[in-house]
Protein backbone atom coordinates (compact mmCIF):
# COMPACT_ATOMS: atom_id res chain seq x y z
CA UNK A 1 0.00 0.00 0.00
CA UNK A 2 1.27 3.45 -0.92
CA UNK A 3 2.37 5.67 1.93
CA UNK A 4 0.20 8.81 1.68
CA UNK A 5 1.64 12.18 0.72
CA UNK A 6 1.89 14.49 3.72
CA UNK A 7 1.67 18.25 3.32
CA UNK A 8 1.31 21.45 5.24
CA UNK A 9 0.58 25.01 4.21
CA UNK A 10 3.20 27.45 5.42
CA UNK A 11 1.57 29.36 8.27
CA UNK A 12 4.80 30.54 9.89
CA UNK A 13 4.98 34.30 10.58
CA UNK A 14 6.68 36.03 7.68
CA UNK A 15 9.64 38.28 8.34
CA UNK A 16 9.13 40.89 5.65
CA UNK A 17 12.71 42.12 5.89
CA UNK A 18 14.29 38.66 5.67
CA UNK A 19 17.87 39.47 4.77
CA UNK A 20 18.92 36.39 2.83
CA UNK A 21 17.28 37.61 -0.40
CA UNK A 22 20.19 40.05 -0.66
CA UNK A 23 22.17 37.03 -1.88
CA UNK A 24 20.15 37.34 -5.11
CA UNK A 25 20.27 41.09 -5.76
CA UNK A 26 20.64 42.27 -9.36
CA UNK A 27 24.37 42.70 -8.86
CA UNK A 28 24.86 39.28 -7.27
CA UNK A 29 22.80 37.48 -9.93
CA UNK A 30 24.93 39.04 -12.68
CA UNK A 31 28.20 38.03 -11.01
CA UNK A 32 27.07 34.43 -10.48
CA UNK A 33 25.88 34.03 -14.04
CA UNK A 34 28.96 35.63 -15.59
CA UNK A 35 31.26 33.43 -13.54
CA UNK A 36 29.59 30.25 -14.76
CA UNK A 37 29.44 31.52 -18.33
CA UNK A 38 33.25 31.88 -18.31
CA UNK A 39 33.63 28.08 -18.19
CA UNK A 40 34.12 26.42 -21.59
CA UNK A 41 31.96 23.54 -20.31
CA UNK A 42 29.05 25.92 -19.75
CA UNK A 43 25.88 25.54 -21.78
CA UNK A 44 22.30 26.17 -20.73
CA UNK A 45 20.63 22.90 -19.83
CA UNK A 46 17.37 22.12 -21.64
CA UNK A 47 13.97 23.25 -20.44
CA UNK A 48 11.63 20.53 -21.69
CA UNK A 49 7.93 21.17 -22.20
CA UNK A 50 6.13 17.88 -21.72
CA UNK A 51 3.13 19.02 -23.72
CA UNK A 52 1.34 15.70 -24.05
CA UNK A 53 1.89 14.73 -20.42
CA UNK A 54 0.58 18.15 -19.40
CA UNK A 55 -2.62 17.53 -21.33
CA UNK A 56 -2.95 14.05 -19.84
CA UNK A 57 -2.51 15.40 -16.31
CA UNK A 58 -4.89 18.30 -16.87
CA UNK A 59 -2.49 21.20 -16.31
CA UNK A 60 -1.57 24.09 -18.56
CA UNK A 61 2.06 23.09 -18.89
CA UNK A 62 4.72 20.99 -17.20
CA UNK A 63 8.23 22.31 -17.82
CA UNK A 64 11.19 20.22 -16.69
CA UNK A 65 14.68 21.73 -16.39
CA UNK A 66 16.99 18.81 -17.21
CA UNK A 67 20.23 19.12 -15.23
CA UNK A 68 21.66 15.82 -16.47
CA UNK A 69 23.51 17.87 -19.11
CA UNK A 70 25.32 20.17 -16.65
CA UNK A 71 29.08 20.40 -17.36
CA UNK A 72 29.07 16.75 -18.42
CA UNK A 73 28.74 15.81 -14.73
CA UNK A 74 25.08 14.67 -14.81
CA UNK A 75 23.91 17.00 -12.01
CA UNK A 76 23.34 20.66 -11.10
CA UNK A 77 25.57 20.37 -8.03
CA UNK A 78 28.72 21.51 -9.80
CA UNK A 79 27.27 25.02 -9.96
CA UNK A 80 27.39 25.51 -6.20
CA UNK A 81 30.76 23.86 -5.71
CA UNK A 82 32.50 25.79 -8.47
CA UNK A 83 31.06 29.12 -7.38
CA UNK A 84 32.08 28.58 -3.76
CA UNK A 85 35.58 27.56 -4.80
CA UNK A 86 35.72 30.55 -7.13
CA UNK A 87 34.67 32.93 -4.36
CA UNK A 88 37.24 31.39 -2.01
CA UNK A 89 40.04 31.73 -4.57
CA UNK A 90 38.99 35.32 -5.31
CA UNK A 91 39.11 36.10 -1.61
CA UNK A 92 42.60 34.59 -1.31
CA UNK A 93 43.70 36.73 -4.27
CA UNK A 94 42.14 39.88 -2.83
CA UNK A 95 39.76 40.17 -5.78
CA UNK A 96 36.03 40.34 -6.40
CA UNK A 97 34.41 37.30 -8.04
CA UNK A 98 33.72 39.49 -11.09
CA UNK A 99 37.50 39.49 -11.64
CA UNK A 100 37.70 35.68 -11.56
CA UNK A 101 37.02 33.37 -14.48
CA UNK A 102 37.73 29.84 -15.63
CA UNK A 103 41.01 31.06 -17.14
CA UNK A 104 42.00 32.40 -13.72
CA UNK A 105 41.47 28.90 -12.33
CA UNK A 106 43.92 27.43 -14.78
CA UNK A 107 46.57 30.15 -14.60
CA UNK A 108 49.85 28.96 -13.01
CA UNK A 109 50.12 32.26 -11.14
CA UNK A 110 46.85 31.48 -9.34
CA UNK A 111 48.24 28.26 -7.94
CA UNK A 112 51.43 30.06 -6.96
CA UNK A 113 49.51 32.90 -5.28
CA UNK A 114 47.06 30.80 -3.25
CA UNK A 115 49.45 27.99 -2.37
CA UNK A 116 48.40 24.47 -1.52
CA UNK A 117 44.72 23.93 -0.68
CA UNK A 118 42.83 20.77 0.22
CA UNK A 119 39.07 21.04 -0.24
CA UNK A 120 37.00 18.87 2.10
CA UNK A 121 33.34 17.94 1.77
CA UNK A 122 30.70 15.31 2.55
CA UNK A 123 28.42 14.19 -0.27
CA UNK A 124 26.03 11.53 -1.46
CA UNK A 125 27.83 11.86 -4.78
CA UNK A 126 26.89 14.88 -6.87
CA UNK A 127 28.18 17.77 -4.75
CA UNK A 128 31.43 15.97 -4.01
CA UNK A 129 31.98 15.28 -7.68
CA UNK A 130 31.59 18.99 -8.42
CA UNK A 131 34.02 20.02 -5.67
CA UNK A 132 36.54 17.38 -6.77
CA UNK A 133 36.20 18.56 -10.38
CA UNK A 134 36.85 22.18 -9.39
CA UNK A 135 39.82 21.20 -7.20
CA UNK A 136 41.24 19.13 -10.03
CA UNK A 137 41.00 22.07 -12.45
CA UNK A 138 42.80 24.26 -9.91
CA UNK A 139 45.55 21.68 -9.47
CA UNK A 140 44.55 21.28 -5.83
CA UNK A 141 43.62 18.32 -3.63
CA UNK A 142 40.19 17.22 -2.46
CA UNK A 143 39.10 14.93 0.35
CA UNK A 144 35.59 13.61 -0.10
CA UNK A 145 33.70 11.54 2.45
CA UNK A 146 30.37 9.83 1.82
CA UNK A 147 27.66 8.55 4.19
CA UNK A 148 26.95 4.86 4.64
CA UNK A 149 25.03 3.29 1.79
CA UNK A 150 26.62 5.46 -0.90
CA UNK A 151 26.75 3.75 -4.28
CA UNK A 152 29.93 2.44 -5.85
CA UNK A 153 29.13 4.25 -9.09
CA UNK A 154 29.09 7.62 -7.35
CA UNK A 155 32.30 6.78 -5.47
CA UNK A 156 33.97 5.90 -8.77
CA UNK A 157 32.84 9.14 -10.42
CA UNK A 158 34.42 11.22 -7.66
CA UNK A 159 37.60 9.16 -7.59
CA UNK A 160 37.94 9.75 -11.34
CA UNK A 161 38.41 13.45 -10.52
CA UNK A 162 41.51 12.62 -8.47
CA UNK A 163 39.88 12.90 -5.05
CA UNK A 164 40.64 11.00 -1.86
CA UNK A 165 37.26 9.27 -1.38
CA UNK A 166 35.99 7.08 1.44
CA UNK A 167 32.56 5.90 2.54
CA UNK A 168 31.99 6.36 6.28
CA UNK A 169 29.80 4.28 8.57
CA UNK A 170 27.82 7.41 9.48
CA UNK A 171 24.76 9.22 8.20
CA UNK A 172 25.20 12.42 6.20
CA UNK A 173 24.96 14.91 9.05
CA UNK A 174 27.22 12.97 11.42
CA UNK A 175 29.79 12.60 8.63
CA UNK A 176 29.85 16.39 8.20
CA UNK A 177 30.79 16.87 11.84
CA UNK A 178 33.74 14.50 11.45
CA UNK A 179 34.94 16.04 8.19
CA UNK A 180 34.60 19.58 9.54
CA UNK A 181 37.09 18.63 12.26
CA UNK A 182 39.38 17.10 9.64
CA UNK A 183 39.37 20.31 7.62
CA UNK A 184 39.92 22.44 10.72
CA UNK A 185 42.94 20.38 11.76
CA UNK A 186 44.53 20.65 8.29
CA UNK A 187 46.53 23.91 7.89
CA UNK A 188 45.65 23.86 4.17
CA UNK A 189 42.11 22.56 4.64
CA UNK A 190 38.93 24.31 3.48
CA UNK A 191 35.46 22.85 4.08
CA UNK A 192 33.07 23.32 1.14
CA UNK A 193 29.68 22.33 2.54
CA UNK A 194 26.13 23.63 2.15
CA UNK A 195 25.20 22.81 5.74
CA UNK A 196 25.88 25.83 7.96
CA UNK A 197 26.32 26.55 11.67
CA UNK A 198 27.43 29.49 13.82
CA UNK A 199 30.80 30.60 12.52
CA UNK A 200 30.45 28.69 9.25
CA UNK A 201 28.08 30.64 7.03
CA UNK A 202 30.09 32.26 4.27
CA UNK A 203 30.93 29.24 2.10
CA UNK A 204 27.42 27.75 2.44
CA UNK A 205 25.98 31.09 1.29
CA UNK A 206 28.23 30.98 -1.79
CA UNK A 207 27.02 27.48 -2.62
CA UNK A 208 23.39 28.60 -2.29
CA UNK A 209 24.12 31.50 -4.61
CA UNK A 210 25.83 29.27 -7.17
CA UNK A 211 22.77 27.07 -7.63
CA UNK A 212 20.75 30.10 -8.77
CA UNK A 213 22.14 29.76 -12.28
CA UNK A 214 19.54 26.99 -12.72
CA UNK A 215 16.75 29.46 -11.89
CA UNK A 216 18.21 32.22 -14.06
CA UNK A 217 18.33 29.94 -17.08
CA UNK A 218 14.84 28.53 -16.51
CA UNK A 219 13.41 32.03 -16.04
CA UNK A 220 14.90 33.24 -19.33
CA UNK A 221 13.87 30.08 -21.16
CA UNK A 222 10.26 30.40 -20.00
CA UNK A 223 10.16 34.04 -21.01
CA UNK A 224 11.52 33.17 -24.45
CA UNK A 225 8.44 30.95 -24.77
CA UNK A 226 6.16 33.86 -23.85
CA UNK A 227 5.66 32.77 -20.23
CA UNK A 228 6.25 35.67 -17.84
CA UNK A 229 6.53 33.37 -14.85
CA UNK A 230 5.39 29.90 -13.76
CA UNK A 231 2.35 29.68 -11.51
CA UNK A 232 3.88 26.80 -9.50
CA UNK A 233 7.38 25.60 -8.68
CA UNK A 234 8.14 22.29 -6.94
CA UNK A 235 11.61 22.05 -5.39
CA UNK A 236 13.29 19.04 -3.80
CA UNK A 237 15.18 19.59 -0.56
CA UNK A 238 17.94 17.76 1.24
CA UNK A 239 19.68 20.36 3.40
CA UNK A 240 17.62 22.84 1.39
CA UNK A 241 20.37 24.84 -0.32
CA UNK A 242 19.00 24.10 -3.81
CA UNK A 243 15.39 24.83 -2.84
CA UNK A 244 16.43 28.01 -1.04
CA UNK A 245 18.44 29.15 -4.01
CA UNK A 246 15.67 28.72 -6.59
CA UNK A 247 13.08 30.17 -4.19
CA UNK A 248 15.40 33.07 -3.37
CA UNK A 249 15.96 33.88 -7.04
CA UNK A 250 12.26 34.06 -7.88
CA UNK A 251 11.33 35.84 -4.63
CA UNK A 252 13.98 38.49 -5.30
CA UNK A 253 12.38 39.19 -8.68
CA UNK A 254 8.66 38.80 -7.98
CA UNK A 255 8.35 39.58 -4.27
CA UNK A 256 4.78 39.13 -3.06
CA UNK A 257 3.76 37.98 -6.55
CA UNK A 258 6.15 35.02 -6.42
CA UNK A 259 5.02 31.68 -7.93
CA UNK A 260 3.51 29.18 -5.49
CA UNK A 261 6.49 27.13 -4.31
CA UNK A 262 6.27 23.69 -2.70
CA UNK A 263 9.27 22.17 -0.91
CA UNK A 264 9.45 18.40 -1.48
CA UNK A 265 11.32 16.00 0.82
CA UNK A 266 11.85 12.29 1.33
CA UNK A 267 9.73 11.13 4.27
CA UNK A 268 12.79 9.48 5.85
CA UNK A 269 14.64 12.81 5.97
CA UNK A 270 11.88 15.42 6.15
CA UNK A 271 13.50 18.07 8.36
CA UNK A 272 11.87 21.00 6.50
CA UNK A 273 8.40 19.48 6.69
CA UNK A 274 8.79 18.75 10.40
CA UNK A 275 10.24 22.20 10.99
CA UNK A 276 7.23 23.76 9.26
CA UNK A 277 4.94 21.72 11.51
CA UNK A 278 6.85 22.86 14.59
CA UNK A 279 7.28 26.44 13.45
CA UNK A 280 11.02 26.29 14.06
CA UNK A 281 14.02 24.54 12.55
CA UNK A 282 14.43 21.03 13.99
CA UNK A 283 16.66 18.11 12.88
CA UNK A 284 15.79 14.55 11.89
CA UNK A 285 18.17 11.79 12.97
CA UNK A 286 18.62 8.09 12.33
CA UNK A 287 19.53 6.18 9.19
CA UNK A 288 17.69 8.55 6.80
CA UNK A 289 17.08 5.53 4.58
CA UNK A 290 15.63 6.49 1.18
CA UNK A 291 16.44 5.79 -2.46
CA UNK A 292 16.60 9.58 -2.85
CA UNK A 293 20.24 9.67 -1.79
CA UNK A 294 20.67 13.36 -2.57
CA UNK A 295 17.82 14.22 -0.20
CA UNK A 296 18.96 12.01 2.71
CA UNK A 297 19.89 14.93 4.95
CA UNK A 298 18.42 15.48 8.40
CA UNK A 299 19.49 19.02 9.22
CA UNK A 300 18.30 22.05 7.25
CA UNK A 301 20.75 24.73 6.16
CA UNK A 302 19.91 27.87 8.15
CA UNK A 303 20.60 30.21 5.24
CA UNK A 304 18.14 28.48 2.93
CA UNK A 305 15.65 27.83 5.76
CA UNK A 306 15.44 31.58 6.28
CA UNK A 307 14.46 31.98 2.62
CA UNK A 308 12.02 29.06 2.54
CA UNK A 309 10.17 29.78 5.77
CA UNK A 310 9.49 33.32 4.53
CA UNK A 311 8.61 32.55 0.92
CA UNK A 312 7.62 28.90 0.28
CA UNK A 313 3.86 28.27 0.35
CA UNK A 314 3.81 24.52 1.10
CA UNK A 315 6.03 21.79 2.54
CA UNK A 316 5.48 18.15 1.65
CA UNK A 317 6.91 14.79 2.68
CA UNK A 318 6.77 11.84 0.28
CA UNK A 319 7.99 8.25 0.29
CA UNK A 320 10.14 6.55 -2.33
CA UNK A 321 7.28 5.43 -4.58
CA UNK A 322 6.72 9.05 -5.66
CA UNK A 323 10.18 9.45 -7.15
CA UNK A 324 10.10 5.94 -8.68
CA UNK A 325 6.82 6.97 -10.36
CA UNK A 326 8.48 10.12 -11.67
CA UNK A 327 11.55 8.27 -12.96
CA UNK A 328 9.41 5.82 -14.94
CA UNK A 329 7.11 8.53 -16.25
CA UNK A 330 9.97 10.71 -17.49
CA UNK A 331 11.93 7.75 -18.84
CA UNK A 332 8.97 6.38 -20.82
CA UNK A 333 7.20 9.60 -21.88
CA UNK A 334 3.92 10.17 -23.68
CA UNK A 335 4.22 9.85 -27.45
CA UNK A 336 5.69 13.06 -28.85
CA UNK A 337 7.28 14.20 -25.57
CA UNK A 338 11.02 14.29 -24.96
CA UNK A 339 12.53 11.51 -22.86
CA UNK A 340 14.27 12.64 -19.68
CA UNK A 341 16.63 10.34 -17.80
CA UNK A 342 16.10 11.43 -14.22
CA UNK A 343 17.70 9.87 -11.16
CA UNK A 344 16.26 9.06 -7.75
CA UNK A 345 16.60 12.59 -6.38
CA UNK A 346 15.76 14.24 -9.68
CA UNK A 347 12.32 12.87 -10.50
CA UNK A 348 10.47 13.28 -7.20
CA UNK A 349 8.91 16.64 -8.09
CA UNK A 350 7.58 15.43 -11.44
CA UNK A 351 6.29 12.29 -9.72
CA UNK A 352 4.54 14.43 -7.12
CA UNK A 353 2.81 16.64 -9.70
CA UNK A 354 1.54 13.54 -11.51
CA UNK A 355 0.34 11.94 -8.25
CA UNK A 356 -1.50 15.12 -7.26
CA UNK A 357 -3.31 15.33 -10.58
CA UNK A 358 -4.23 11.65 -11.02
CA UNK A 359 -5.15 10.43 -7.54
CA UNK A 360 -8.17 11.86 -5.71
CA UNK A 361 -6.59 10.80 -2.43
CA UNK A 362 -4.58 13.99 -2.97
CA UNK A 363 -7.56 16.18 -3.88
CA UNK A 364 -7.29 18.41 -0.80
CA UNK A 365 -3.64 19.18 -1.49
CA UNK A 366 -4.33 19.74 -5.20
CA UNK A 367 -7.12 22.19 -4.39
CA UNK A 368 -5.05 23.99 -1.75
CA UNK A 369 -2.37 24.49 -4.41
CA UNK A 370 -4.99 25.63 -6.94
CA UNK A 371 -3.32 23.25 -9.38
CA UNK A 372 -5.49 23.03 -12.48
CA UNK A 373 -5.76 23.38 -16.26
CA UNK A 374 -4.40 26.95 -16.08
CA UNK A 375 -1.28 26.04 -14.10
CA UNK A 376 2.20 26.49 -15.55
CA UNK A 377 4.45 24.21 -13.50
CA UNK A 378 8.24 24.31 -13.28
CA UNK A 379 10.22 21.38 -11.86
CA UNK A 380 13.92 20.60 -11.99
CA UNK A 381 15.31 17.16 -12.74
CA UNK A 382 18.38 17.77 -10.60
CA UNK A 383 20.32 14.69 -11.73
CA UNK A 384 20.47 12.05 -14.41
CA UNK A 385 21.34 8.42 -13.83
CA UNK A 386 24.23 9.17 -11.48
CA UNK A 387 23.89 5.59 -10.23
CA UNK A 388 23.17 3.66 -13.47
CA UNK A 389 22.67 0.32 -11.70
CA UNK A 390 20.04 1.70 -9.33
CA UNK A 391 18.40 3.60 -12.18
CA UNK A 392 17.92 0.39 -14.17
CA UNK A 393 16.73 -1.47 -11.09
CA UNK A 394 13.95 1.07 -10.67
CA UNK A 395 13.02 1.90 -14.26
CA UNK A 396 13.68 -1.47 -15.92
CA UNK A 397 13.28 -4.02 -13.16
CA UNK A 398 10.48 -2.53 -11.07
CA UNK A 399 12.43 -1.94 -7.85
CA UNK A 400 10.34 0.24 -5.51
CA UNK A 401 6.86 -0.24 -7.05
CA UNK A 402 4.96 2.94 -7.71
β-sheet with 47-49: strand ranges across: 6-9, 314-318, 260-266, 232-236, 376-381, 61-66, 47-49
Q: How many CB atoms lie within 10 A of CB 384?
A: 22
CA distance 142 to 144: 6
CA distance 272 to 236: 11
Q: Is 77 marked active-site?
A: yes
Helices 78-93, 202-224: axis angle to 10 degrees equals: 130
Q: For the stretch 96-115, what's the b/e string if a residue is b when 16 or more beta carbons lie within 10 angstroms of its beta carbon?
A: ebeebbbebbeeeebbeeee
CA distance 203 to 194: 7
Residue 297's contacts (CB-CB under 8 Å, 6 or more residues apart) are: 172, 173, 195, 238, 239, 269, 271, 288
Strands 376-381 and 164-167: unpaired
Indicate which residue of 31, 65, 66, 124 is catalytic: 124
Q: How many CB atoms lie within 10 A of CB 229?
A: 16
Strands 61-66 and 47-49: antiparallel
Strands 232-236 and 260-266: parallel
Indicate which residue of 77, 306, 320, 385 is catalytic: 77
Q: Supply angle C-alpha 334, 340, 341, rounded to 5.
A: 125
Q: Is 359 marked active-site?
A: no
**Which residue numbers are catalytic?**
77, 124
Amino acid sequence: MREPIQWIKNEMPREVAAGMLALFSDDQRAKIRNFHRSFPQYNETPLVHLKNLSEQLGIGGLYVKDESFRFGLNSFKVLGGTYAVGRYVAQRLGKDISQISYDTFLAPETKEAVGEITFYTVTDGNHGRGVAWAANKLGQKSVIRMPHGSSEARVANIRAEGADVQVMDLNYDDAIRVVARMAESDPNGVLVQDTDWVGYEQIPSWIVQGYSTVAAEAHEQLQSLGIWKPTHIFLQAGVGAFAGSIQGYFASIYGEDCPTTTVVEASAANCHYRSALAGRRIPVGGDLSTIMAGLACGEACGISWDILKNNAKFFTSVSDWVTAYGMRMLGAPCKGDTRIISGESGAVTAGLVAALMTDDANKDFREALNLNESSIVLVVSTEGDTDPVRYKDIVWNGYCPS
